[in-house]
Amino acid sequence: MPFLVHKTWSESRALVVIAGVLTIALWAVSLWLVPRERLVVPLHYTIYFGIDLSSRWQSWLWLPGLGTVIMLTHFVIGTLKDDTTWQRVWLTMAVLLNILLGLVIAALAYVVRSGL
């Protein structure tokens, strides 16, 4: 596989591994925390109005899907850059966005489990 010998993989291996592990963790946690027994789950919660968007439990899976797309897009853009600093910036952004998506999933799980 030629992308494994590219500069991004050799010089930023830790960021690539962290982004991959976070993406797998997003999928695992989402599938573990999503309440499949409920017909409708909240997708958005505000402190003023409470739950203002709800849907079937399968709709919750767009969050880890978005994390996967973000990780792959940032990895591809990072491999197109010749400067290692920009490669690390793109990979760091992928890691940070996956962390934020993980916090969103955790917040939604808290709202569902606490019955707010």
Look at the chain and report how many structural domains it folds into. 1
Whole-Å CA distances, 61 to 38, 41, 105: 15, 12, 10
pLDDT over 90 percentage in the chain? 0
- Quote the CA–CA distance of 14 and 65 in Å, as a whole number: 22
Q: pLDDT category, 10, cuts 50, 70, 90? A: low
Mean pLDDT on 7-25: 76
Is the per-residue pLDDT at 9 higher than 60? no
Structural domain that includes position 75 = 2-114
Q: Which of 16-20, 37-41, 99-103 has the highest mean pLDDT?
A: 99-103
